[in-house]
C-alpha cells in the first residue's frame, strides 16, 4: 500500500463506522494561550471536550498536521537521531463526543489494524493504565478486560501515568489511555528478547503506533482534575509510523513519505544516504543531517503556510530556530555552501497536493520566505562556526561559557539550542544559566537605552560608531542607528 492508500483506508474505515471526515486544523494555534502549535488531533476539539462548544457530529475522523517542538510534547532533540519522532507529523484520529466509549474504540482499532491493514497480531502489544494513587486514579481494568477478547494476556501491558495518562498540556482535557505498539524486529531477535520488555523503552523497532485516549477529566491551573461533563474518545495514530510498519520498513524515512526528499538531498549533496548507519559510523552524521532536513522542511513549510512567519520571538522564533538548525546541517554536514534547504519546498508541496492544499497553493510564497531566511543565516553561519571552534580551543572544561553562547546568539544568530546541539556533537555542554544571565543583562541595557532616548530623538551622526550586534538583532540595530541620541 502507498502512503496515500493507507491514509484513505483509515478515513474510509471510520466513515464505514458512522464518522464524518473533518479537515485538519492549522498547525498554528491562534486563540489558546496554553498552546503555541497543534500537538495532537484533539486540540481543535478542546472546547467540545470541556463542554463549552457543541459537537457538529457525534463521531468524526481526520488527519491532523501536528508539530511537537515546544511545551509538554517536545520531540525536537529526537528528530534525525531516531527514525520515528518527527517535528511535523500527521496524526490520524477518530473521535467520539459523548457517543461511543472504550468498547467500540478498542474493537475498531483492532479491526482496522488486523483485518483491514492485516498487521500480524503476534507483533502487536497493547497497554492500559495501571492507576495512580497520588492522583486518586484507579487501574483501568475495563480496558484490560476489553483487550482480553482479542489479545493474548502476555501482550497486554500495564503502563504508568507518563505513558498511559494522556494530557494535552499543563492544563486541559485529559484521561487514561491505551496504546498500541508494533514490534518489527526480525524473528531471531524476537526469539531472544521478549517484545513486551521493549514496549515504551525507546527501542526503535518496538514503537508506539496508536493511542486511544479516554477523555474524562479537565486538568485545571492548580493541578487538580475535574470530571468532564461527558466521556469522550480521542485517538491518535502516527501516520508516518503506520506507513512504516505497513511497508515493512525499519525507519519512517525509508517510506514513500520521506524518500522523495531524502533521495533529492542525497543526489544534490553527492552523498549516499545510509539508512542503517549507526552512531560512530563514518556516514552517521550525513544520515542524521539528511533526516533532519527531510523532517524540518515539513515543520517550517507547513507552519509558514498556516500563517506563522519566522520571527525573532515567540512562535516565529521557534520556526526560525528549526530552520537554522536545518541550515547548519545542510551547510556544515552536507556541504551546501549556497542556499539549498528552500529547494525542498516544491517537492513537499507536490507530495501534499490534495491532502493539505494550504501548502501547494502557497508554495511559491513559502519557498521565498525560506530562501530569504536561509540566505540571511548563511551570511553569519560560517563566521559563527569559526567562532564556535575558537571557543572549543580556548575553553578547557568541555563547557561553552554563557558569555560565548550569548555572543554566538547575538552576533551570529545561533539560537541557544543550536549551540547546545553543536556542543553535544563534540561531547561538550553549554552554561545555559550564564547564557540567560547575559541575555537578561542585554535586555536591561537596551531597555535603559530606550528609556533615555524617548524624550529627544535625534538621528545618529555618520561618524558615531555603532556596534553590529548580529543578524538576529538587525531590527534592534536599525532602531538604535536611527534613534540613538547624539
- The residue among 355, 294, 327 whose CA lies nearest residue 86 is 294
CA dist., res. 441 & res. 388, Å (int) = 22
Residue 167 or 208: the one with the smaller Cβ distance to Mg ion is 208
Write each residue from 157 to 196 as x if it is in contact with ligand ATP (CB under 6 A), else as -, in one continuous string: ---------x------------------------------
Nearest Cα to Cα of residue 409 among 422, 418, 398, 397: 418
Q: Please, what is the minimum distance in Å from the beta carbon of residue 457 to ligand ATP? A: 48
Q: Which does 241 bind (CB under 5 to 8 A by kind): ligand ATP, Mg ion, none?
A: ligand ATP
Q: Which residue is nearest to Mg ion (CB)?
A: 211
Distance CA 400, CA 24 (A): 42
Q: How far is the CB of 90 from Mg ion (least distance, A)?
A: 15
Site for ligand ATP in 327-386 (CB under 6 A): none
Smaller CB distance to Mg ion: residue 208 or 306? Answer: 208
**Residue-wise DSSP of 199-264:** TTTT-TTEEEEEEEEEEEEEE-TTS-EEEEEEEEEEEEEEHHHHHHHHTT-SSGGGSTTTHHHHHH
Binding mask 6-45 for ligand ATP (x = CB under 6 A): ----------------------------------x-----
Residues 84-123 that bind ligand ATP (CB under 6 A): 85-86, 89, 91
- Residue 391: closest CA among 416, 417, 419, 413: 419
Cα separation, 199 vs 22, in Å, equals 32
Q: In the bound complex, what is the minimum distance in angstroms from residue 483's beta carbon to ligand ATP?
A: 44
Q: Can you point out the beta strands (E) in 220-320?
A: 225-238
Pick from 7, 19, 65, 68: which binds ligand ATP (CB under 6 A)?
68
Burial of 466 (0-12, 13-18, 19+ CB in 10 A): exposed
167 touches Mg ion by CB under 5 A: no
Using CB under 5 A, which of 211, 251, 367, 409 touches Mg ion?
Answer: 211
Q: Which residue has the cell 564556535?
A: 388
Sign of CA dihedral 17, 23, 29, 31: negative
Residue 236 binds: one of Mg ion, ligand ATP, none (C-beta under 5 to 8 A by kind): ligand ATP
Between 96 and 211, name the residue whose CB sits nearer to Mg ion: 211
Residue 288 CA to residue 302 CA, distance in Å, equals 21
Least Å from the CB of residue 300 to Mg ion: 21
Residue 244 binds what, of ligand ATP, Mg ion, none (CB under 5 to 8 Å, by partner type)?
A: none
Cβ proximity to Mg ion: between 174 and 391 the closer is: 174
The least distance separating Mg ion from the CB of residue 212, rounded to whole angstroms, comes to: 9
Q: Under rule CB under 6 A, how many of the chain's residues touch ligand ATP?
A: 17
Nearest distance in Å: CB 284, Mg ion: 23
Stretch that binds ligand ATP, among 202-210, 272-280, 367-375, 473-481 (CB under 6 A): 202-210
Nearest to 327 by CA among 381, 363, 288: 381
Confirm or reject binding of residue 59 to ligand ATP (CB under 6 A): no
Looking at beta carbons only, is 99 or 211 nearer to Mg ion? 211
Nearer to Mg ion, 68 or 271 (CB): 68
* Residue whose CB is less far from ligand ATP, 240 or 472: 240
Torsion of CA 405, 410, 416, 422, to 10 degrees: -60
Question: Which of Mg ion, ligand ATP, none is residue 102 near (CB under 5 to 8 Å by kind)?
Answer: none
Which C-beta is closer to ligand ATP: that of 144 or that of 166? 166
| Residue 68 interaction partner, one of ligand ATP, Mg ion, none, beta carbon < 5-8 Å per kind | ligand ATP
Output the CA–CA distances (angstroms, integers) from residue 92 to 24, 318, 338, 396, in the order listed: 10, 25, 37, 49
Which residues make Cβ contacts (< 8 Å) with residue 136, sequence separation at least 6?
Answer: 225
Tell me which residue has cell 516544491: 346
DSSP letter for 458, please. Answer: -
C-alpha cell at 203: 527501542
Measured in whole angstroms, the distance separating CA 260 from the mean position of its chain's CA atoms is 20
How big is the chain, counted in residues? Answer: 486
Among 62, 90, 140, 208, binds Mg ion (CB under 5 A): 208
Strand partners, 206: 183
Interaction site with Mg ion (CB under 5 A): 179, 208, 211
Q: Where does this chain bind ligand ATP (CB under 6 A)?
A: 40, 68, 75, 85-86, 89, 91, 166, 208-211, 236-238, 240-241
Amino acid at each position: 500500500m502507498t502512503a496515500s492508500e493507507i491514509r484513505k483506508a483509515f478515513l474510509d474505515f471510520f466513515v464505514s463506522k458512522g464518522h464524518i471526515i473533518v479537515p485538519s486544523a492549522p498547525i498554528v494555534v491562534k486563540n489558546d494561550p496554553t498552546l503555541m502549535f497543534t500537538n495532537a488531533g484533539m486540540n481543535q476539539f478542546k472546547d467540545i471536550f470541556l463542554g463549552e462548544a457543541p459537537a457538529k457530529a457525534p463521531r468524526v475522523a481526520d488527519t491532523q498536521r501536528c508539530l511537537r517542538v515546544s511545551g509538554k510534547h517536545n520531540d525536537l532533540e529526537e528528530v534525525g537521531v531516531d527514525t520515528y519522532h518527527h517535528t511535523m507529523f500527521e496524526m490520524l484520529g477518530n473521535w467520539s463526543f459523548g457517543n461511543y466509549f472504550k468498547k467500540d474504540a478498542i474493537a475498531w482499532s483492532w479491526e482496522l489494524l488486523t483485518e483491514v491493514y492485516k498487521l500480524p497480531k503476534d507483533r502487536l502489544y497493547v497497554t492500559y493504565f495501571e492507576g495512580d494513587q497520588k492522583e486518586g486514579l484507579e487501574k483501568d481494568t475495563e480496558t484490560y478486560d476489553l483487550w482480553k477478547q482479542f489479545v493474548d494476556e502476555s501482550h497486554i501491558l500495564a503502563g504508568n501515568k507518563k505513558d498511559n495518562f494522556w494530557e494535552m498540556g499543563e492544563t486541559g482535557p485529559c484521561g487514561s489511555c491505551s496504546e498500541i505498539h508494533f514490534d518489527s524486529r526480525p524473528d531471531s531477535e524476537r526469539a531472544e528478547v521478549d517484545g513486551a520488555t521493549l514496549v515504551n523503552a525507546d527501542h526503535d523497532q518496538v514503537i508506539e503506533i496508536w493511542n486511544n485516549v479516554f477523555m474524562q477529566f479537565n486538568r485545571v491551573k492548580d493541578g487538580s482534575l475535574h470530571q468532564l461533563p461527558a466521556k469522550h474518545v480521542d485517538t491518535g495514530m502516527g501516520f508516518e509510523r503506520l506507513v512504516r510498519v505497513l511497508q515493512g520498513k525499519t525507519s519512517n524515512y525509508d517510506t514513500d513519505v520521506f524518500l522523495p526528499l531524502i533521495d533529492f538531498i542525497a543526489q544534490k549533496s553527492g552523498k549516499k544516504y545510509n539508512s542503517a548507519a549507526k552512531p560512530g559510523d563514518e556516514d552517521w552524521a550525513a544520515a542524521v543531517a539528511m533526516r533532519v532536513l527531510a523532517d524540518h522542511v515539513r515543520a517550517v513549510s507547513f507552519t509558514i503556510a498556516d500563517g506563522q512567519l519566522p520571527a525573532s520571538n515567540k512562535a516565529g522564533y521557534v520556526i526560525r530556530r528549526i530552520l537554522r538548525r536545518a541550515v547548519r546541517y545542510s551547510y556544515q554536514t552536507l556541504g551546501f555552501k549556497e542556499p539549498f534547504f528552500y529547494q525542498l519546498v516544491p517537492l513537499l508541496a507536490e507530495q501534499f497536493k490534495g491532502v493539505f492544499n494550504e501548502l501547494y497553493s502557497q508554495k511559491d510564497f513559502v519557498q521565498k520566505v525560506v530562501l530569504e531566511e536561509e540566505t540571511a543565516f548563511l551570511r553569519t553561519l560560517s563566521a559563527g562556526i569559526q567562532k564556535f571552534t575558537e571557543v572549543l580551543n580556548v575553553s578547557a572544561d568541555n563547557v561553552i561559557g554563557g558569555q560565548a553562547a550569548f555572543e554566538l546568539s547575538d552576533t551570529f544568530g545561533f539560537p541557544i539550542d543550536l549551540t547546545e546541539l553543536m556542543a553535544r556533537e563534540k561531547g561538550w555542554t553549554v552554561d545555559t544559566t550564564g547564557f540567560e544571565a547575559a541575555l537578561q543583562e542585554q535586555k536591561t541595557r537596551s531597555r535603559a537605552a530606550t528609556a533615555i532616548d524617548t524624550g529627544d530623538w535625534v538621528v545618529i551622526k555618520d561618524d558615531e560608531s555603532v556596534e553590529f550586534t548580529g543578524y538576529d538583532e538587525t531590527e534592534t540595530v536599525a532602531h538604535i542607528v536611527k534613534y540613538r541620541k547624539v
